[in-house]
Amino acid sequence: MKATVHVTLKPGVLDPQGVAIGHALTGLGFAGVNSVRMGKFLELDLAETDRAKAEAAVKAMCEKLLANTVIESYRVEIR
Amino acid sequence: MKAAVVSFPGSNRERDIMMALERASGVKPSLLWHGDTEIPDTDLIVVPGGFSYGDYLRCGAMAAHSPVMKALKEKAAKGTPVLGVCNGFQILVEAGLLPGALMRNASLKFVCRQVHLRVEDSQSLFTNAYEKGQVIRVPVAHAEGNYTADEDTLKHLEDRGLVAFRYVAPDGSLAPEANPNGSTRAIAGIFNDSKTVLGLMPHPEDATDPHAGGMDGFGMFKSLVNALH
């Protein structure tokens, strides 16, 4: 199975990269960009064939390594 | 004082800190490698600066789960003092030995310059050779040193006196321009609850030679020798 993981900074955690990208977009003339939040995208190829088990495993991976839950939240999708 | 310095692929300040430790204690520290599964009996374990595992995923994230860190955590739980500098601080935070997180500098730039630190506690293993409130001048060199933690954690750190150092102006006052990375409450270094683990972003080991950068960082190594003999 394939799993995709989005890791993003939690709401309220300052994202200086997102802010800089937002400024750059505004500078390029793209009007109306209220804010930008930058994150990470990971794609995992899993041997597991059970959807629930795969999801549980990837969530455990996020908790332990893929995300720093002090500042980041994550979203797992199994395909 | 016997010290063990743990290094990883990408560590680059291990020699600096070994020299500082030897200069203060007269004893050559041992150097361990990330794959080592045991740490010999030692008075102090040091996690040096650098770019362990190329800073992949997040600074310190990979190193925090390496075999040697498992051994380090066991030693730390039994009370062996641990010092983490720069990437070492990032690793200790990722390993859960210290609270909070170190984010990208607010300026988004790698900052390499001298900073002033105020010693917030002179009663620890790491800082007893300093006076409380003393201002010292040491270098920083990092891109991810922006300390952050949730409000409960910050309150806990402040209430328990666990903030070890703050970035300040030369006169010891707090000033935005004195904070090189945007750290919350100008926090430069913190202790764990038992004050046996210290992590800090600045490099005291690079202020231990009168011919290169001054001697202001030497107090930390002298403190450790005072406490650990």
Q: How confident is the model at residue B21, as a pLDDT?
A: 97
Pick the residue from chain B with its C-alpha nearest to A40.
B57
The answer to whether A16 contacts B107, with C-beta atoms less than 8 Å apart, is: yes
Q: Which residues contact A67 (CB under 8 A, 6 or more apart)?
A: A5, A7, A73, A74
Q: Give me the active site residues of B, please.
A: 86, 203, 205
Closest by Cβ to A16, choosing from B58, B106, B149: B106
**Chain B residues near residue A16 by CB distance under 8 angstroms:** 103-108, 146, 182
Interface residue of A17, A42, A70 to substitute, partner B, most B CBs within 10 Å? A70
Output the domain CATH number for residue A44.
Answer: 3.30.1280.10
Q: What is the mean pLDDT of residues B134-150?
A: 97
Give the homologous superfamily in CATH for domain B3-228.
Class I glutamine amidotransferase (GATase) domain (3.40.50.880)
State whether ipTM is beyond 0.85.
no
CA B58 to chain A, closest CA, distance in angstroms equals 8
The answer to whether B101 contacts A68, with C-beta atoms less than 8 Å apart, is: yes
Tell me the one-letter amino acid at B126.
F
The answer to whether A14 contacts B103, with C-beta atoms less than 8 Å apart, is: yes
**HSE of A1 in the Cβ direction (CA atoms, 13 Å)?**
17
Provide the domain limits for residue A64.
2-78
What is the tens place of the pLDDT at every residue in B43-81? 999 999 999 999 999 999 999 999 999 999 999 999 999
What is the C-alpha to C-alpha distance for residues B21 and B208, in angstroms, rounded to an integer?
10
By the 10 Å C-beta count (0-12 exposed, 13-18 middle, 19+ buried), A14 is classed as middle
Q: What is the mean pLDDT of residues B26-35?
A: 96
What is the C-alpha to C-alpha distance for residues B95 and B181, in angstroms, rounded to an integer?
22
**Chain A residues near residue B100 by CB distance under 8 angstroms:** 70
Angle subtended at Cα B141 by Cα B137 and Cα B143, rounded to the nearest 5 degrees? 135
Q: Which residues contact B73 (CB under 8 A, 6 or more apart)?
A: B95, B97
Averaged pLDDT score across all residues of chain B: 97
* CA A8 from centroid of its chain's CA atoms: 4
What is the C-alpha to C-alpha distance for residues B76 and B227, in angstroms, rounded to an integer?
17
Q: For chain B, give every domain's residue range.
A: 3-228
Positive or negative, the CA dihedral B137, B143, B145, B148 is positive
What is the C-alpha to C-alpha distance for residues A15 and A62, in angstroms, rounded to an integer?
20
Closest by Cβ to A68, choosing from B58, B104, B182: B58
Number of domains in chain A: 1
> In the predicted model, is pLDDT for residue B176 greater than 90?
yes
The answer to whether B105 contacts A16, with C-beta atoms less than 8 Å apart, is: yes
Q: Quick one: what percent of chain B has pLDDT higher than 70?
A: 100
DSSP state, residue A47: S
What is the tens place of the pLDDT at every residue in B82-123? 999 999 999 999 999 999 999 999 999 999 999 999 999 999
Q: How confident is the model at residue A33, as a pLDDT?
A: 96
The answer to whether B103 contacts A71, with C-beta atoms less than 8 Å apart, is: yes
